């Protein structure tokens, strides 16, 4: 089916995306079904998938097809990468977020101890298969969740992709019209990843907005979609970019308007600041006790490993609230 030789092909889906398997031509393959939701991207679900693979007598020469959103791609990639010291896998992302973020780039993993993606590794899928029609099953919140990562890519790539992204009427356009923009996002991410697969340098720019975004996501217990948290995190990072790196204030104002219109105001109060900082301190990208940020000098010019003080972070969160 995928022109990849395998002694067995097994599909991994969640309780939502299992309904899409007939339309993807995967309904006749043996399957593993896991609960949906990022709260299930954990060691218990990973252990369940390992057990199912063992029961199905999967081998190193088998193929795991991850059909789902970012959670399925991340956890499925982790399961395949570790089962019998590694079997091959394919990602078929079914959400906009997974298409432009989780399905490509070779990061796989799970959440652990309340920290997003605390345990994981780098391993590329054999292939990423895009089926734009799967986006028709998404509600507007999930479309907006993916769009936040596209805004991030635009900010990092440069004026051309940024303006093209902002000019796309994400709330009213047919989602199938997104195809070209999705491919441009993937091409940008792949260009960054190909230069720095293990995130020792340039790839760190892709963390823009994620230091605070992941902390907000963890604080809210996974009740808010990843892209919304990244949008709020980008606004924090953009504020710090103005105060620390000379990012144009008018661009901050523009981004603030977009985030407020599409994602609303972050549901965090000042009583949560200490816990947010604690979660940021546990971020896997930190060095020692420093909280590292990716900031912007301008659109298309990012700087990494920026050490930002606790007070400055709290000031920035005050701003986005």
15 and 103 part of one domain:
yes
Q: Which helix (H) or strand (E) holds 120?
A: strand 115-122
Of the CA atoms within 13 Å of residue 56, those in its CB half-sphere come to 23
Supply the pLDDT for residue 258: 97
The answer to whether residues 129 and 90 touch, using CB atoms and an 8 Å cutoff, is yes
pLDDT band at 282, cuts 50/70/90?
confident
Within a domain: 126: yes
Within a domain: 2: no
| Domain end (from 112, 136, 160) | 136
Q: What is the pLDDT of residues 217-229, one digit of tens each?
A: 999 988 899 999 9
Could you tell me which residue, 137 or 152, shows the higher pLDDT?
152
65 and 170 part of one domain:
no
Non-local CB neighbours of 43 within 8 Å, separated by 6+ positions: 110, 112, 119
Q: Mean pLDDT in the chain?
A: 94
pLDDT band at 102, cuts 50/70/90?
confident
**pTM for the whole structure:** 0.93
| Domain end (from 136, 166, 194) | 136
Domain that holds residue 255: 141-320
Q: Give Cα separations from 129 to 32, 82, 92, 211 (angstroms).
A: 19, 22, 5, 29
177 and 67 part of one domain:
no
Which two tokens mark 143? 């479309």
- Helix and strand totals (H; E) in the chain: 11, 9
Among 66, 68, 73, 67, smallest CA distance to 110 is for 73
> Over 90: is that where the pLDDT of 59 sits?
yes
Report the number of distinct structural domains present in the chain.
2
213 and 274 part of one domain:
yes
The two beta strands, 292-298 and 127-128, are unpaired
Which two tokens mark 153? 């890519």
307 bridge partner residues: 292
> Over 90: is that where the pLDDT of 290 sits?
no
Supply the pLDDT for residue 32: 98
Within a domain: 98: yes
205 and 243 part of one domain:
yes
> Over 90: is that where the pLDDT of 208 sits?
yes
> Over 70: is that where the pLDDT of 154 sits?
yes
Q: CATH no. for residue 269? A: 1.20.1090.10
pLDDT band at 285, cuts 50/70/90?
low
> Over 90: is that where the pLDDT of 216 sits?
yes
30 and 109 part of one domain:
yes
DSSP string, 212-235: HHHHHHHHTTT-S-HHHHHHHHHH
Q: CATH no. for residue 112? A: 3.40.50.1970
> Over 90: is that where the pLDDT of 1 sits?
no
The residue written with tokens 């060691």 in the block is: 43
The answer to whether residues 89 and 60 touch, using CB atoms and an 8 Å cutoff, is no
**105-109, 154-158, 172-176, range with greatest mean pLDDT:** 154-158
81 and 94 part of one domain:
yes
273 and 157 part of one domain:
yes
Q: What is the pLDDT of residues 229-275, one digit of tens each?
A: 999 999 999 999 999 999 999 999 999 999 999 999 999 999 999 99
Supply the pLDDT for residue 176: 80
| Domain end (from 106, 136, 166) | 136
């Amino acid at each position: 089916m995928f022109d990849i030789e395998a002694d067995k092909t097994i599909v991994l889906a969640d309780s939502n995306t299992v309904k899409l398997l007939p339309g993807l031509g995967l309904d006749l393959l043996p399957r593993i079904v896991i609960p949906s939701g990022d709260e299930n991207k954990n060691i218990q679900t990973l252990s369940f998938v390992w057990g199912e693979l063992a029961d199905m007598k999967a081998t190193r020469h088998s193929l795991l097809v991850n059909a789902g959103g970012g959670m399925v791609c991340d956890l499925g990639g982790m399961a395949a990468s570790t089962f019998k010291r590694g079997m091959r896998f394919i990602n078929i992302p079914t959400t906009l977020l997974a298409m432009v973020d989780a399905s490509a780039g070779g990061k796989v993993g799970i959440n652990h101890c309340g920290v997003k993606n605390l345990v994981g590794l780098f391993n590329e899928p054999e292939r990423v298969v895009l089926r734009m029609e799967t986006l028709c099953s998404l509600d507007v919140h999930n479309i907006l969740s993916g769009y936040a990562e596209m805004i991030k890519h635009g900010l990092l790539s440069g004026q051309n992709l940024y303006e093209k992204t902002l000019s796309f009427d994400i709330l009213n356009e047919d989602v199938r019209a997104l195809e070209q923009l999705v491919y441009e996002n993937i091409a940008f991410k792949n260009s960054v990843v190909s230069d720095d697969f293990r995130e020792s340098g340039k790839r760190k720019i892709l963390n823009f907005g994620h230091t605070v975004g992941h902390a907000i996501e963890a604080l809210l217990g996974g009740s808010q979609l990843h892209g919304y948290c990244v949008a709020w995190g980008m606004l924090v990072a953009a504020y710090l970019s103005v105060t620390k790196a000379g990012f144009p204030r008018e661009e901050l104002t523009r981004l603030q308007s977009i985030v407020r219109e599409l994602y609303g105001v972050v549901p965090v109060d000042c009583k949560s600041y200490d816990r947010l900082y604690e979660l940021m301190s546990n971020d896997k990208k930190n060095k020692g006790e420093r909280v590292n940020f990716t900031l912007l000098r301008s659109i298309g010019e990012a700087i990494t490993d920026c050490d930002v003080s606790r007070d400055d972070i709290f000031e920035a969160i005050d701003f986005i609230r």
